[in-house]
Structure 1
């Protein structure tokens, strides 16, 4: 099978063909074909947005039915492409279906004191991880805002986006509103330079988004990035059950192989709790099944292609800078959940975001020391979690930590379906917001 660009439901052939390689099994009969010299029509405004949204709600319901009917094959392919266990994709599918069931709620998320206008032609540059939930929520939010959407997936995980656009393109009113782009850097750059898009939203790496930001600025095309985080946890003596906290932390740094933008990367804990916490973390990690991502009981699969070398390098640097490295092993793209215990301040993994199931744990005397260390070493700003029974501590840190989301005695990764998302500093622009709002322009009318 060859996956191609889809413009208005029509397959566009031509350009280089590339084999899709699965990170766990390394075998695939699938190819993708990059398109060249594409012609993108200018944005056409929807005449009656209310009517369009009514049709979109009906389409979402019908698409949900198709999604349910074909989910076994879809999820198996997604697990193969990402290397992430199918267990997590099943959960993502359920969340996506719940979102589709409640799509009309997006209307309530739009600001009431402004008129919300479409951005126009929107290019969504998606990351390789979590394709089901990210594609579903972003595309429907963008369509609900009245945009024409161009979905550009990661070349490593293209299948779900292709299925998604192909199915939605079967609805006549959406045929000209949703497209699927497989383009290389050169063609993507050409399309941006020629103003084929009015807005570019990138979920790529920080390095990729930096290049895109410069290109969009030069081309006078609006750009927004949502980049990786470096989320930490602070635990003090009044935290409550370490057993429950250890469960949340392990799940929050191993889910999807630790390859989520808001995966937990580090833990700062009071010295009196350090030994017990580490032991509980080890016990829970030891219970995790490392196996093929196709197996339902698997919890650790393989890293997305191209990410294991950096994870290995950061861990090897920490070997020289930590009291101990526990459970580290790597076999091609399979990396075992690893603890880096009490690293010194100069360990690179503290400041850098590693897309892998690796967690450092460090002793800190109190929340003043934790805050100072955070400001000194963390340049990202997606999320931060606090486990403390002292309301004064939680409030003090929440007011001073520079991050888009602060979790207080909450599961770090359990975002509500309608929670605003987004980061600051190296993790994004402006902090959390609703996608339907970020994908709209505001208009203020004064009479």
Structure 2
């Protein structure tokens, strides 16, 4: 048995029991049996269930948002926005999935050649707690529409959210086994990946978890998609609109209490703007309201667990010991960590060379664009970067300099159903969302007729 505790006030929420290995085996067999029918169901018929799911999401959006706020501390307005984003994703694939999956004709020497996209089978998703609905939907929806069935091992600390997701699919009328919540411990994941019923795995999580899952999958010659950590740079060029940039930068770092792989975690500001940026940014961050995540005016809630806040505290404190200066924040109370801004930061400090998964940000200055690129690339991660400048055309010629999965100009890095999402280096491999995402777990089958 394990308990779920509210990170805001440490109250008991619920108690759960992991299913047994024999129950896991039975669940996988049901999912495989469902795939044998679902995989041959026309795409337009699969999409009818997605339409029902959109209705269920709309109906249950407030219930879903509240459960998220209770279990991992996300402010209720942000939790509700996450649920609505899941609806947008469903609607995107309703409009585009048939075209993405249609047979593609190829010109070759024979009388006819074409490519078809066929589902692989049962796909395992290992999902994190920081976006308990969005992370699941962006994996599961395109995977299911492509004809696969999915089983999801969600993070234990948001087990209530995980149960609600499965109930949504059931309410939408999906046959049993198309989407299944797999309430298992981390130690049970290896056997699930190794099970011959499971054909591939997608993981969103830490480097350590990604390396473990990838090695297990590779040993069984199974495909894996990994969406891991990030330490995105946010570059403020000399000609940037500083007021607009500050406004975006606040959300880019402190939304969801900074608990996002694509949050802007390292700021680089041109030396001519540095003092003005720090003054304006500090003023804006100091106005953010922290408190009960169920209150609609709360912007910063607690971190999902106290130990996570302690990790951020250690990274900040160690950096201060090495010479960094705290401009704002720097204090922890249980799972709450104050929005924190640091200057006098060097590249050997934890707040620079580690992923800080919480509301703390180092701000460094640079003199040339080349220096900013070097600082941004000086990371083991490569998920994304934001660059703010008035000269967009000039910047477009330098996109190739960034070792990232995404470059956002005059905007914060975000995931969008229409845009491929994923990283390079230790941020993982493979892509989610858009056409690329729906084709990650398919057999790209070549047909040649002589």
Normalized against structure 2, the TM-score is what? 0.89
Call closer, same or farther: CA 1:341–1:431 in 2, change over 3 Å.
farther
Call closer, same or farther: CA 1:140–1:392 in 2, change over 3 Å.
closer
- Does structure 1 residue 107 correspond to structure 2 residue 91? no
1:56 aligns to what?
46
Q: How far has the Cα of 1:177 moved from its partner?
A: 1.6
- Does structure 1 residue 86 correspond to structure 2 residue 76? yes
1:4 aligns to what?
none
Call closer, same or farther: CA 1:294–1:171 in 2, change over 3 Å.
closer
Call closer, same or farther: CA 1:413–1:298 in 2, change over 3 Å.
farther
2:18 aligns to what?
34
Call closer, same or farther: CA 1:98–1:318 in 2, change over 3 Å.
same
Q: What CA distance in whole angstroms lies between the structure 2 residues aligned with 1:446 and 1:385?
A: 44
Q: How far has the Cα of 1:48 moved from its partner?
A: 7.3
1:6 aligns to what?
none
Call closer, same or farther: CA 1:48–1:334 in 2, change over 3 Å.
closer
Partner residue of 1:25 out of 2, 5, 9: 9
- Does structure 1 residue 357 correspond to structure 2 residue 367? no
1:446 aligns to what?
448
2:203 aligns to what?
202
Q: What CA distance in whole angstroms lies between the structure 2 residues aligned with 1:318 and 1:63?
A: 47
Question: Mean Cα displacement is larger for which, 187-196 or 103-112?
Answer: 103-112
Q: 3-state SS of the aligned residue for 1:269?
A: strand
2:268 aligns to what?
268
Q: What CA distance in whole angstroms lies between the structure 1 residues aligned with 2:235 and 2:91?
A: 36
Question: Mean Cα displacement is larger for which, 136-145 or 34-43?
Answer: 34-43
The number of residues matched between the two structures is 428
1:421 aligns to what?
421
1:401-428: CA deviation from partner (whole Å, max 9, x where unpaired): 110000112x214443311111111111
1:21-77: CA deviation from partner (whole Å, max 9, x where unpaired): 121121123112101122122735555768443333332232322322232222111
1:7 aligns to what?
none
Aligned-pair Cα RMSD in Å? 2.1
**Structure 1 spans left out of the alignment, 5+ residues:** 1-16
Call closer, same or farther: CA 1:431–1:364 in 2, change over 3 Å.
farther
1:243 aligns to what?
243
Q: How far has the Cα of 1:91 moved from its partner?
A: 1.1
Q: How far has the Cα of 1:320 moved from its partner?
A: 2.7
1:173-199: CA deviation from partner (whole Å, max 9, x where unpaired): 521322110111332222223333110
Q: What CA distance in whole angstroms lies between the structure 2 residues aligned with 1:181 and 1:382?
A: 28
Question: Mean Cα displacement is larger for which, 349-358 or 23-32?
Answer: 23-32
Q: What CA distance in whole angstroms lies between the structure 1 residues aligned with 2:281 and 2:69?
A: 26
Call closer, same or farther: CA 1:315–1:397 in 2, change over 3 Å.
farther
1:304 aligns to what?
304
1:222-271: CA deviation from partner (whole Å, max 9, x where unpaired): 222110111001112111x2111001001110111111110000111111
Q: What CA distance in whole angstroms lies between the structure 2 residues aligned with 1:249 and 1:172?
A: 42
**Structure 2 spans left out of the alignment, 5+ residues:** 106-114
